[in-house]
Amino acid sequence: MARKLFNEARVVRELAVARSFSEAENSDRREWRLMSPLKRMEMMELLRQLNHPYDPDTARLPRVFQVIKQASR
């Protein structure tokens, strides 16, 4: 589901004008509060994926990196 969310994300180009930073902050908070809990979680997951990319093919450490033969003592 997480990968699907990232691949299906779309940019919504809307402009909201605020007269101050506090007004913009209140507007953002109101918008987040109006979202369903599921939608908020999806948005947080999308932000996480954008900031911390995850590639399942490279996420694991290799089981054997290199075998080294030591000289016997």
- Domain assignments of the chain as residue spans, ordered by start: 1-10+23-55
Tokens standing for 16? 């909201």
Q: Inform me whether the pLDDT recorded for 22 exceeds 90.
A: yes
Cα(7)–Cα(1) distance, integer angstroms: 10
Mean pLDDT over each residue of the chain, to the nearest integer? 82
Global pTM value? 0.56
Give the pLDDT of residue 13. 84
Q: Inform me whether the pLDDT recorded for 24 exceeds 90.
A: yes
Write b or e for each residue in 13-37: b if 16 or more Cβ atoms lie within 10 A of its Cβ, otherwise e: eeeeeeeeeeeeeeeeeeeeeeeee
For the chain, where are the alpha helices, taking DSSP H only? 2-7, 21-34, 37-51
For residue 55, the number of C-alpha atoms closer than 13 Å in the C-beta half-sphere is: 3
